[in-house]
Structure 1
Amino acid sequence: MDVPTWWNTEPHAAYLDWQATEASGANRRPFSRRSIVQHKAMFERFVRHLSQRNTTLATFGAEHLESFFDDVDNRCAPGTTTRLRYTKLIDRLSRHLVDVGVRETNPAAIFVAAAAWPDSEPEPLFLDPAADTALQAHVQPDAIDDARIARNRAVVAILLGAGITAAELRTTRARHMILDGVRPHLRVPKRGPRLERIVALPAFSTPALLAWQRHHPASDEALLFPAPSGTDKPINDVLLGAIVRDALDAIGFTAPDMSPRVLRNTFARRLLLAGRTNEEVSRFLGLTSQRTVTRLRATIEVSALAT
């Protein structure tokens, strides 16, 4: 099978082969294993978008990129570099497709010309200790809570108490959470580049999680937070975002980003304030790089200088 035919008939296999054997970044070095995993997921999302619009890698044009980037913008928090990373990936891919004869033009070139990396990374958003304490109080169960309120408190409690991502929460099974015994904890399975880890659940989070268990008893293999329809489909990101925003609204917190990411940053910063090292906190987050934690520690150092 010649290369153009392979890209047209088996694009996912062709992409993985290219990533593993030829593709390289701006410094001409091969991509890391972690980057390849991320790029594969991004490529698959782009191909799905093209398929839904009855076009292919050989035939998509600027109008398809416009609709794709609009979708990316609608799903990402303001201030992130997600759109730019997709622009770079699709430009690199399109140039390769021109080189191997799959395409004649690169419609991503005009988008790259208009794009630029931000001069500095956006300041990470988090709850200060007073707001963190207020949210911990907010998630405490009440005797009059119905199942929906119990679920919402438990969702916020586990995000704030364990620092997991929204994607990790959506795939958490009942067996991953251990609340009986002297050390309640959550086992977070490996997911993509994120490492498997066990996170101790702080005392403030367990009452809400126990209340949710009483409202929603489940088998070990059942999802901890299924979709409201009652099927074995996970709760979706739209509902998760709404739950977190409502909780943050309830304590009077307002920011450009009011997503689960704020709670994850708050979890990490709380550990740093308690004396944990960057390496330890990165491990609790499932990260191999300390970049995120270093940025959060910088906010503590700035606060200390200001006092």
Structure 2
Amino acid sequence: MTQKDSLWFSNPTQAYQDWQAREAACADRRPFSPRSIIQHQAMFEHFRRHLLARGTTIASFGTADVDAFWQPPNGRTYSQTTRMRYVKLLDRLCRHLVFAGVRQDNPAATLLTAERWPDEEPTPQFLSKAEDGRLQAYLKLPPVDLASLRSQAIVAAFLGTGITAAEARAADCADLRPDATPPYLVVRAHGPRDARTIHRASFAVPALRAWSTRRAALPIEGELLFTLTPDGRPITDMSFGRIVSETLNAIGATNVEMSPRTLRNTFCRRHLLAGHSRDEVSRMLGLASNRTCDRISATLTPAYQAL
């Protein structure tokens, strides 16, 4: 075993990042995209923390530890697609660790036979109207400290503007216009998506305005609107997920996937219920097609109207 491979015992997070950067690749041997690498690192870190809580390690976990990963409230809300992505990640990781001499077996290999990609797209996750209302009210509560103010602003941005995690991560302080009439957020062009302006929902204004004012007074490097560190590094998907999860747990919304995507879907559904056209809502979301709105619209049938 090389010194590089021994890092899996002393600092598995760093070892995983190094492996991703140097060797990890898709099934066709093409390197993963930068976005996929970020997502994989967040997933790995989530699983590593689960193992730490169970008193085991990357080098020694077994199938029982993976089974336990699905049992907490967060795990029980994972879609079939999310579970499959985790199993494929663990299988890819364990095959490498066996080759490197860090592990003797690959417990994820047997799990691949039990998990499969869904035959059709799952019903999108969203908050019910009652849960949406409770969350809006929660975001108006006085924050107890700086961290809770930041968390309120982050959740308010997802729920009140429908932006993606990547868009929230890239937002600058100047992109938020809290004192305009009406207040709005500028989402800069990225990838295939054009720049767009989103008027913020009224319930999101107080938290975002308060954070904007507080952020301007903080000794943080750079211009990013949402950051957790003094050096101004972007927030990771894992941190966004933790913030959303803690907030949804606080209002008792534990039956959905606790992610920014759920809040984005809730934003979409709220506007469709209010009578906005699919074209209009798709533009709000920065989408070139109505595919997402079509999937959300399917939840507006009579069977879903109470939700």
Distance in 1 of aligned mates of 2:305 and 2:29: 56
Matching residue of 1:183: 182
Tell me which amino acid in the other structure corresponds to 1:236: T
Provide closer, same or farther for how the CA distance between residues 139 and 57 of structure 1 changes in structure 2, counting only shifts above 3 A. closer
Q: SS at 2:235's partner residue? A: coil
- The within-5 A match list for 1:77-88 is 78-80=79-81
Matching residue of 1:242: 242
Measured after TM superposition, the shift of residue 210 of structure 1 is: 1.6
Q: SS at 2:80's partner residue? A: coil
Query: Structure 1 regions of 5+ residues with no counterpart?
Result: 1-45, 61-68, 88-109
Task: Assess if the C-alpha contact under 8 Å between 1:187 and 1:199 holds in 2.
Answer: yes
> Alignment length, in residue pairs?
228
Distance in 2 of aligned mates of 1:52 and 1:213: 41
Matching residue of 2:12: none
Tell me which amino acid in the other structure corresponds to 1:257: E
Matching residue of 1:43: none
Matching residue of 1:276: 276
Sequence identity, in percent? 39
Measured after TM superposition, the shift of residue 194 of structure 1 is: 2.6
Task: Assess if the C-alpha contact under 8 Å between 2:256 and 2:262 holds in 1.
Answer: no
Matching residue of 1:163: 162
Tell me which amino acid in the other structure corresponds to 2:121: E
Higher Rg of the two aligned structures: 1
Task: Assess if the C-alpha contact under 8 Å between 1:147 and 1:216 holds in 2.
Answer: no
Matching residue of 1:223: 224
Matching residue of 1:291: 291
Tell me which amino acid in the other structure corresponds to 1:49: Q
- The within-5 A match list for 1:110-259 is 117-142=117-142, 145-217=144-216, 222-227=223-228, 229-255=229-255, 257-259=257-259
Measured after TM superposition, the shift of residue 256 of structure 1 is: 5.0
Distance in 2 of aligned mates of 1:237 and 1:70: 10
Provide closer, same or farther for how the CA distance between residues 302 and 122 of structure 1 changes in structure 2, counting only shifts above 3 A. farther
Measured after TM superposition, the shift of residue 48 of structure 1 is: 7.1
Matching residue of 2:20: 49
Q: SS at 1:234's partner residue? A: coil
Measured after TM superposition, the shift of residue 216 of structure 1 is: 1.8
Task: Assess if the C-alpha contact under 8 Å between 1:163 and 1:267 holds in 2.
Answer: yes
Per-residue CA shift, 1:11-33, capped at 9, x if unaligned?
xxxxxxxxxxxxxxxxxxxxxxx
Matching residue of 1:102: none
Moved over 4 A (4+): 55-60, 69-77, 81-84, 113-117, 218-221, 304-307
Task: Assess if the C-alpha contact under 8 Å between 1:178 and 1:186 holds in 2.
Answer: yes
CA RMSD of aligned residues (A): 3.9
Tell me which amino acid in the other structure corresponds to 1:199: I
Q: Taking structure 2 as the reference length, what is the TM-score of the superposition? A: 0.63
Tell me which amino acid in the other structure corresponds to 1:153: Q
Provide closer, same or farther for how the CA distance between residues 82 and 198 of structure 1 changes in structure 2, counting only shifts above 3 A. farther
Per-residue CA shift, 1:170-190, capped at 9, x if unaligned?
110011110113210001111
Which one scores higher on RCO, CA 8 angstroms, separation ≥ 6? 2
Tell me which amino acid in the other structure corresponds to 1:147: L
Task: Assess if the C-alpha contact under 8 Å between 1:126 and 1:263 holds in 2.
Answer: yes
Q: SS at 2:193's partner residue? A: coil
Measured after TM superposition, the shift of residue 165 of structure 1 is: 0.6
Distance in 2 of aligned mates of 1:284 and 1:197: 8
Distance in 2 of aligned mates of 1:221 and 1:203: 28
